[in-house]
Amino acid sequence: MPLDVSHPVLPPPRGDLSAAVLSVLGGAARPPAAEVVRQADPYGDDLQLALYLCYELHYRGFTGVDDAYEWDPVLLAFRGLLEDRFLTALRADATRPRGVDEALAELLVEPVNGTGVSHHLRDEGQLWQLREYAAQRSLYHLKEADPHAWVLPRLWGRAKAGMAAVEFDEYGGGRADRVHARLFADLMADLGLDTAYGRYLDSASAQTLATVNLMSLFGLHRRLRGALVGHFAAVEITSSPGSRRLAQAMARTGAGPAAEHFYAEHVVADAVHEQVVRREVVGGLLEVEPHLADDVVFGLDATGFLEDRLADHLLDHWRAGTTSLRVPLGPSDGRAS
């Protein structure tokens, strides 16, 4: 399969905020007043799509959009308002006061009878649900590790060395065919999905967009480097057992060897990464900057809060026998679901 280097196309708006961003990118109207942003649902489709559009300018951009918009002062000012609305809500809804050691310890213990998405997909998930899950997650996995790479210039010593070591693995250890984004594209091909970068942006739920936006929010702001490290720790600590269940789900449903391999690879890799992140990245950061402890906990909590919202969204729809996507998968997406 050739490497996809295309730019995604702009999606339709989901409300006034995302319409405003699209208008600016088209060289037309200015964004609405700050009061409109303050009244918006911080986790809703409109605000999350508006944020995603702003952030994607720092990654691949969009077809037909001038690269200069990445640093457009009007758009950056509007993005700041969106970020404040999102971040304020997260600090109010996700924060649980406690120390870093206690917060990390909670992630190391899994419930005896788990009821999350990976448990559902392993035990009773159907192939169409695995395809939807991959389509939703493609918004991150086709640029896997990129949002976390923003933090590298903001770390030093043990934290920088540990973070770089983990990122090196995520980027294939120097081998293009083992880059994790490449492996996820192979997974999508096994599932009969379109592997084009950003292809499922219009289909993805607000809950999915929020999980991806969180990484960009933390990664693009130096002041939030502690939160980014907390987010990264949450992902790496919880990844290995969840990936094992997803690999089993792919095997049980006959999804294909590449689909199974993507998660099997993460079972091994992330078990090692978890140790490096806890001891070197988190430990190294707090050794030098102990005042960032609360930010690390906030990153852990915000990640869990948004992942729980996404899990509820997926399971509520699947248990009702309905699609979790805004735009259902169709014949153009490969094998019938």
pLDDT level of residue 108 (50, 70, 90 thresholds): confident
Residue 337 CA to residue 288 CA, distance in Å, equals 51
- 307: tokens are 């992942």
pLDDT of residue 257: 95
Residue 260 CA to residue 264 CA, distance in Å, equals 6
The whole model's pTM is what? 0.94
Instruction: Show which of 77, 93, 109 is a domain's final residue.
Output: 93
Instruction: Show which of 63, 93, 123 is a domain's final residue.
Output: 93
Mean pLDDT of 289-303: 98
Whether 11 is in a domain gets the answer no
Considering the domain architecture, whether residues 118 and 191 belong to the same structural domain is answered as yes
Whether 154 is in a domain gets the answer yes
Mean pLDDT of 110-130: 89
Report, in this order, helix, strand and coil percent for the chain, each rounded to 5.
70, 0, 30
Q: On the CB side of 219, how many CA atoms lie within 13 Å of its CA?
A: 19
Considering the domain architecture, whether residues 314 and 294 belong to the same structural domain is answered as yes
Whether 44 is in a domain gets the answer yes
Whether 255 is in a domain gets the answer yes
pLDDT of residue 2: 58
> Looking at the predicted structure, is the pLDDT value of residue 270 above 80?
no
Q: Specify the CATH number for the domain of residue 311.
A: 1.20.910.10
Rounded to a whole number of angstroms, the distance between the first and last alpha carbons of the chain is 23
pLDDT level of residue 335 (50, 70, 90 thresholds): very low
pLDDT of residue 116: 93
> Looking at the predicted structure, is the pLDDT value of residue 151 above 70?
yes
Q: For residues 60 and 198, is the Cβ–Cβ distance under 8 A?
A: yes
- CB under 8 Å to 305, separation ≥6 — which residues? 90, 93, 94
Least trusted range by pLDDT, from 43-52, 91-100, 140-149, 236-245: 236-245
pLDDT (tens digit per residue) in 304-329: 999 999 999 999 999 999 999 999 99
Residue 113 CA to residue 124 CA, distance in Å, equals 15
Residue 241 CA to residue 237 CA, distance in Å, equals 9
> Looking at the predicted structure, is the pLDDT value of residue 267 above 90?
no
Identity at 258, one-letter amino acid code: A
pLDDT of residue 330: 78
- CB under 8 Å to 14, separation ≥6 — which residues? 45, 46, 49, 206
pLDDT (tens digit per residue) in 56-76: 999 999 999 999 999 999 999
Considering the domain architecture, whether residues 121 and 86 belong to the same structural domain is answered as no
Q: Can you say whether residue 322 is alpha, beta or left, with left for phi > 0 and alpha for psi between -120 and 50 degrees?
A: beta
Residue 297 CA to residue 84 CA, distance in Å, equals 19
Whether 241 is in a domain gets the answer yes
pLDDT of residue 336: 38
Alpha-carbon dihedral sign for residues 235, 240, 245, 251? positive
Considering the domain architecture, whether residues 173 and 272 belong to the same structural domain is answered as yes
Residue 264 CA to residue 243 CA, distance in Å, equals 7
Considering the domain architecture, whether residues 88 and 109 belong to the same structural domain is answered as no
pLDDT of residue 3: 56
pLDDT of residue 31: 77
Residue 288 CA to residue 307 CA, distance in Å, equals 30
SS3 of 57, please? coil
Considering the domain architecture, whether residues 77 and 118 belong to the same structural domain is answered as no
Separate counts of helices (H) and strands (E) for the chain: 15, 0
Q: Say which residue the tokens 């980014």 belong to.
A: 228
Whether 10 is in a domain gets the answer no
Rounded to 5 degrees, φ, ψ at 45 are: -55, -45
Whether 82 is in a domain gets the answer yes
> Count of domains in the chain?
2
Instruction: Show which of 93, 115, 145 is a domain's final residue.
Output: 93
> Looking at the predicted structure, is the pLDDT value of residue 228 above 70?
yes
Considering the domain architecture, whether residues 161 and 286 belong to the same structural domain is answered as yes
Considering the domain architecture, whether residues 149 and 236 belong to the same structural domain is answered as yes
Considering the domain architecture, whether residues 260 and 175 belong to the same structural domain is answered as yes
pLDDT (tens digit per residue) in 1-47: 555 667 999 999 999 999 999 999 998 877 777 889 999 999 999 99
Q: For residues 229 and 151, is the Cβ–Cβ distance under 8 A?
A: yes
Considering the domain architecture, whether residues 133 and 196 belong to the same structural domain is answered as yes
Task: Using alpha carbons only, give the angle 144, 308, 210 rounded to the nearest 5 degrees.
Answer: 50
| Domain, as residue range, for 297 | 98-333
Question: Biggest alpha carbon distance in the chain?
Answer: 55
Considering the domain architecture, whether residues 76 and 178 belong to the same structural domain is answered as no
Considering the domain architecture, whether residues 197 and 247 belong to the same structural domain is answered as yes
Q: What is the pLDDT of the chain when averaged over all its residues? A: 93
> Looking at the predicted structure, is the pLDDT value of residue 266 above 60?
yes
pLDDT level of residue 134 (50, 70, 90 thresholds): very high
Whether 9 is in a domain gets the answer no
